[in-house]
Amino acid sequence: MEPQHYKDLYDILAHAQGYIFPNEIDLQWGILIVVYPFITGLVAGAFILASLERVFKVTILKATYQIALLTALSFLLVATLPLISHLSQPQRAYEIMITPHSSSAMAIFGFVYLWYLMVVLLLEIWFDYRHSMVLWSQEKKGVMKWVYKILCLGVTDISPRTLSWDKKLGYIITIIGIPSAFILHGYVGFIFGSIKANPWWSTPLMPIIFLFSAMVSGISLVLLVYMVISRIRKIAIDLSVLDSIGKYLFFVLILDFTLEGLDQIHRIYEANESFEILKLLVSGKLYLTLFVSQGLIGTIIPLITLAFLQFYRGRIKLRKTLYFIVGMLVLVGVYSMRWNVVIGGQLFSKSFSGFTSFKVGLIGLDGTLMAAFWLILPFGILAFLLWLLPPWKMAPEED
Amino acid sequence: MKFYLPPQISRLAIAFAVFITLFLVARHFLVPETFGQYGHYRGASLDDNAMPVIHFSGQQACLDCHQDIEDLKLQGPHKGIHCETCHGPGQAHVVSGEAKDIFKPSGREFCGNCHSSNAAKKKETIHQVNMSTKNPGKNCTECHNPHQPWKVKK
């Protein structure tokens, strides 16, 4: 008799090349773990764009300030769900918060996340919207009246003095918020960068690279959301807004590209014992997602296009279209970057002598449809938030 | 100047106090009863882990009845390989002692799992043979005793 496990073993061995250890056949971290840093990055990036407006008083970007904050919130609410749905015991997920261990990077992340959600993002939005929410609660009838009353926690005082405090406190939150956003996403990079057994991940540059790619993706997302919202509301897209976001995107993308290049050059020059296998990895299994998708489509083409848009002041329609395409390409590039890190780091054997392979399933808790669901859900939440807290119906600012 | 506390601050302080209290209350009820019994984990998880059906018995269990094979194995290069590495999970057989409950490997591919030449495997770690030129058509066990491969029958 030949037991099933031997048959399975033969099937599985067909996925491996060269020599790998038994526990490396299956990838423990699948597509949902790719989606998680992607979403967290969008949050941090969108928030940092909003903060730029506020701290450096970039008046042009006012139009996108609330959009950026609400986008950050919609994605932040979903950020942990891919992780939770990846667990085999999701009903126990909350235990990480109630019995955290200080040596667990993931447990501490729970608190970083909570801090960012409760103290930074919600508060900043609250201070920003309180005046309007009070006005809406006076205008509206029925349920909505009460919804807004509850949302402003019953603080209905809109005397100039109190309103000026909204501004001051909101500003303080923004100042706290910038390092918090850096920590939130730097932390995601840290979780990978601190895995010392994995030469593809283990580099102190990882948090910084993650942070800059986060900014790149968040800025692109806000750019796209702004364009789509304007389309839906049938108002003209303000080209100066696009130019201004595009300028930031251009500079941050250059920094991001430089940092990632630095990381690779360092790896190549150092050429330690893992180098041979990593060279095979990037020239083989990661070729498409690294060089084509992340490098060419996600970085080089957007960089050239953005450089061109810096001085090209010609046809408006063309410029708008180019910005839209650049935004999409950058998102594809950053998604590929997450893929290359998460999946790439698990494809080669720690014996440095072989590879396993990865196939994403379509269905199932760890499949493509699930990942797509977590990526689409935030847009639903965003639509709801924009309906509940429409930036274009806010109380006018009086300075 | 009189001290002025903006209403937002006092209201938010209350909201946060409520939130933190709720968290602590929830925590009180949600922390599993046996948490911390032995260390920073749920003590009852040890029982959970003991529940799954046992498939592997470990080599020691085989020796009650097959000490002869172990004695033979100890003389040869396979001495470091435990019975269940080749014979698969043996707990059912340990209990029943019946032949049908244990896997008896056969065929050239079986030895090839470990010995077929593979450029990525280090030569010092394991001896490798080219499966297509090594005595083709013959089963490895016709010449090698699997428990003591150097007892070669010619």
What DSSP element (H or E) covers A18?
A: strand A17-18
Distance CA A345, CA A340 (A): 7
Return the residue of B nearest to A104 by Cα: B40
Predicted confidence at residue A66, as pLDDT, reads: 92
Residue that is written with structure tokens 């009820």 in the block: B29
A187-206: per-residue pLDDT in tens? 999 999 999 889 999 999 99
Predicted confidence at residue A13, as pLDDT, reads: 73
Cross-strand partners of B148? B145
A124-153: per-residue pLDDT in tens? 999 999 999 999 999 988 899 999 999 999
Instruction: Please say if the pLDDT value at position B98 is more than 60.
Output: yes
B111-121: per-residue pLDDT in tens? 988 898 887 77
Q: Looking at the partner chain, which of A18, A127, A162 has a beta carbon nearest the beta carbon of B120?
A: A18
Count of structural domains, chain A: 1
Q: Which of A299, A300, A298, A322 is nearest to A310 (CA)?
A: A322
Q: Measure in Å the smallest separation between the Cα of A71 and chain B Cα atoms.
A: 23
Predicted confidence at residue A16, as pLDDT, reads: 83
Predicted confidence at residue A192, as pLDDT, reads: 92
Predicted confidence at residue B154, as pLDDT, reads: 63
Distance CA A210, CA A207 (A): 5
**Residue A365 located in a structural domain:** yes
CA geometry: angle A129, A135, A136, nearest 5 deg: 85
Distance CA A134, CA A251 (A): 39
Distance CA A234, CA A236 (A): 7
Residue by residue, DSSP assigns chain B as ------HHHHHHHHHHHHHHHHHHHHHHHHS-TTBTSSSSSBTTHHHHHH-SPP----HHHHHHHHHHHHHHHHTSGGGGS-HHHHH---HHHHHH--GGGS----SHHHHHHHHB--TTS-TTTS--B-TTTSSTTS-GGGTSBTTBTTS---
Range of the domain at A187: 23-391
Tokens, residue B8: 């937002």
Fold adopted by B55-104: Helix Hairpins (1.10.287)
Are the C-beta atoms of residues A114 and A98 closer than 8 Å to each other?
Answer: no
Top pLDDT among A93 and B154 is at: A93
The CATH number of the domain where A308 resides is what? 1.20.1630.10
Q: Measure in Å the smallest separation between the Cα of A183 and chain B Cα atoms.
A: 22
CA geometry: angle A332, A370, A365, nearest 5 deg: 135
Q: Measure in Å the smallest separation between the Cα of A347 and chain B Cα atoms.
A: 15
**Residue A397 located in a structural domain:** no
Instruction: Please say if the pLDDT value at position A5 is more than 80.
Output: no
User: How is chain B split into domains, by residue range?
Assistant: 8-50, 55-104, 105-154
Return the residue of B nearest to A166 by Cα: B8
Instruction: Please say if the pLDDT value at position B36 is more than 70.
Output: yes
**Residue A84 located in a structural domain:** yes
**Residue A169 located in a structural domain:** yes
**Residue A4 located in a structural domain:** no
Tokens, residue A304: 């050239």
Distance CA A188, CA A342 (A): 11
Predicted confidence at residue A259, as pLDDT, reads: 94
* Mean pLDDT, chain A, integer: 90
A243-292: per-residue pLDDT in tens? 999 999 999 999 999 999 999 999 999 898 899 999 999 998 999 999 99
Query: What is chain B's Cα-based Rg?
Result: 31
Please report, rounded to a whole number, the percentage of residues in chain A having pLDDT higher than 90.
64
Instruction: Give mean pLDDT, residues A226-242.
Output: 92
Q: Which of B110, B71, B65 is nearest to B87 (CA)?
A: B110
A165 vs B contacts (CB less than 8 Å): 6, 8-9
